[in-house]
Amino acid sequence: MPPEIGLEGWRALVTGAGQGVGRAIALTLADAGAEVAVNDVVELRADEVRDEIRGRGGRAESAPFDVTDWDSVQAGVDRLGDVGILINNAGNAGVDGFSALRPFVETDPAEWDRYIRVNLYGVMNCTRAALPSMISRNGGRIITVVSDAARYGDAFLAPYAAAKAGASGFCRSIAREVGRYNITVNCVALGTIRTPTTSRPDADSPENVEREKQQLKKYIIRRKGEPEDVAGLVGFLAGPSASWITGQTYPVNGGYSFAL
C-alpha cells in the first residue's frame, strides 16, 4: 500500500505552477490536503490553476510574481504568510523559451543570463524568502525541480545545465544548514517531459518526428515523461513519510541516466 501523503494544515508554494509539471504538482499537493499558493509569472495561468483546484474541492490561492525579482518574491511570500512547503519548479528559460541549440563556443554571453536568473537565482530567491517561516515552525520541505541536462551533461545546453547544476549544489548546502530545524531539502531531476514548453508547434513535421524518434532511443522507457510522472514523487517528498530524506537528487527520466 502506498504511503499516505497527508498534507492537511500545510501551505505549499509551487512556483511556475500555471502549466505543465508545476500544475500537476499543485493538483497533487492540493488533493493531499495542502493549501496551495499557485505561482506563475503569468497571472491568468495562476488564476486558472487556482480555480481548477477549487473546483476539485481543494484550497488554493493565486500568487503571481516573477521568481527572478527578489523584491517581488519577498512581497509575494510575505502576503502568503506561513509557507511550510516550497516547490521550486519555475525553470527552463522563463517566458522567453530556449535559445536555438548550438555549441557553447557559438553562444553569446548575453544569452546565458536568463538561464541563470530563472533556474538558479529564482531558486535562491524563493528559498531565502520561505526559510524564515519554516525555521520558526521548526519544520518544512523544500523540493527543487532540476534537470538531467545537468546530471548527464547534455551537449548544446551548457548554460542551462550550469544553472540547474548550481541549483542542485545550492540545495545540498541548504540541506546541511537547516536540517536541525527539521527542514528537508531535495531535488528531482527530470528528463524530457511533455509540457507546453517542450511541445513544438511543428511537432508533426517529418523532421521533428524523426528528431523525436532519435531522442527517445536514449530512454529505456521509450516515451516522453508526463507531468504526473513527476508529481507523485514530489508529493511523497513533501509528506511525512519522507521526513528522514534530505540532500538528495532523484531522477525521473525514463532511464535516460542512472543514479547510484
Active site residues: 160
Q: What is the helix (H) or strand (E) element at residue 250, kind and residue range?
A: strand 249-252
- Residues 6 or more apart whose Cβ sits within 8 Å of residue 240: 5, 6
Q: How far is CA 156 from CA 149, 219, 234, in A?
A: 10, 19, 28
Answer whether 188's CB lies under 8 Å from 123's CB: no
The angle subtended at Cα 220 by Cα 216 and Cα 226, nearest 5°, is: 65
Q: Are 37 and 13 in contact (CB under 8 A)?
A: yes
Give the span between the Cα atoms of 76 and 149, in whole angstroms.
Answer: 30
Q: Which three cell numbers stand for residue 235?
A: 508529493
The two beta strands, 11-14 and 35-38, are parallel
Host H or E run for residue 146: strand 140-147
